[in-house]
Structure formats: C-alpha cells, structure tokens
Structure 1
C-alpha cells in the first residue's frame, strides 16, 4: 500500500472524521489511505483499492479521479446509483501539497433531486 505523511492523515481526520457521509483519502493508484468514521461504520477499511468496494478490478467507469489529478482542480459529478437507487453528488478533491492524493466522497441528495432525474 502507498503511504502519505502522518500530518496529512491527521488533517484528514480533523476535517473529515465526523462528516456524516463516507469520505475516503485515496492515492492515485487507488489505494485507500484513510477513511472517516462513517466509512468505518460501513466496513470500509484502509489498504484496499477503492474500486474493490463496488466490486471492480479496475477504476470505476464514472470515476473522475484521473481527471482531477491531471487538472489539479476539484471535480463534481451527480449520478444515480444502480446499487441503491439513491442519487449521489460525488466529489474528487486534490490535497494541497500532495500530487497523488485526493479526497473522495458522495453526498446522498436523493430527497432533494427532481423525480425525473431519479427515473434515468
């Protein structure tokens, strides 16, 4: 598994530890470096590939991690989860000072989405 400086892990926990949705700190190779409390509660652990959660052997088709890493800019994408039927507002956010590390999470905004978007 790839590693990151302890100060980055501490900053991640300080900022995202109690966020109400699962949040992952991910290396460009897709190793999960850290997870917040909600992700832990859902059984997500460090040291695995993020795409193995879905399960997949490769980067998920809708992942914007590579785009974000190339541009250095946060990216956002809304999508309907085929697994849960919930609408997720997904984010890939670079970590300042870390070229190969990013934060990834999705907010469940189903209750605020127009019904026609859920029918897609």
Structure 2
C-alpha cells in the first residue's frame, strides 16, 4: 500500500517520540506504529477509526489535511490532548497522526 522506504522513514523519525504516533492511509488503515503506540496495543493493519471509543474520533481532520496537503491540529473532544494530522510529502494518501497531552503545556 505504501513504499517500504516511507515506513522505514516513519520509524526513524517517530520511534523515539514519547507519545503515540501512527502512519495512516486515507482509508484509515494503520501502516506503521511507533514504539509507544505498539506498547499501548495499537496495531498495523487495524483501522484507526475502529479504535474505541467512537466519540474520540469527533473532530478528526485527516481528510482536510490530505485535501489541503498541509498539517492540521485540534483538541480531542475531552480537551485533554492536542491532535495532529500531517500529510507525508510525496504520498498523497498517507499521513502521520499523533497527539500530545495538554497537561504538558
């Protein structure tokens, strides 16, 4: 679905990030997870939108980020995390999704 070099680059960049990060296809299939996401049980091949609870996906800006070709961010519904959707340059249907807790600000 995506060139293996993209997955390798994702791991080089995101595996040491202290919060969960995933490489995701437009159809919401998870292509790669960083170490923190793997520790939390997030899996490659799963659909991110199927992660419970359903209301956590309210305000998702993935489609908007891909359409615009530039990153988007916003708070999760509970206001406890800042979420980011960043398109991968040269891969029009792939983005990195990660979030950070607001209590770290």
The alignment's TM-score, normalised by the length of structure 2, stands at 0.91
Superposed, 1:1-120 pairs within 5 Å as 3-56=1-54, 60-81=57-78, 87-112=80-105
**Residues 69 and 52 (structure 1), Cα distance of their counterparts in 2 relative to 1, 3 Å cut:** same
Q: Secondary structure at the match of 2:76?
A: strand
Q: Secondary structure at the match of 2:24?
A: strand
**2:85 and 2:95 in contact (8 A); partners too:** yes
Gaps spanning 5+ residues in structure 2: where? none
After TM superposition, which residue ranges in structure 1, 4 or more long, deviate above 3 angstroms? none
Tell me the C-alpha RMSD between the 2 structures: 1.6
Deviation at 1:110, TM superposition (A): 2.0
Gaps spanning 5+ residues in structure 1: where? 113-120
Deviation at 1:111, TM superposition (A): 4.4
- Looking at structure 1, the residues matched to 84 and 95 of structure 2 have their Cα atoms a distance apart, in angstroms, of 10
Structure with larger Rg: 1
The alignment's TM-score, normalised by the length of structure 1, stands at 0.80
Deviation at 1:61, TM superposition (A): 2.5
Kindly provide the CA deviation profile for residues 77-114 of structure 1, in whole angstroms up to 9, marking residues without a partner as x.
Answer: 02353xxxx610110001010000000011012243xx
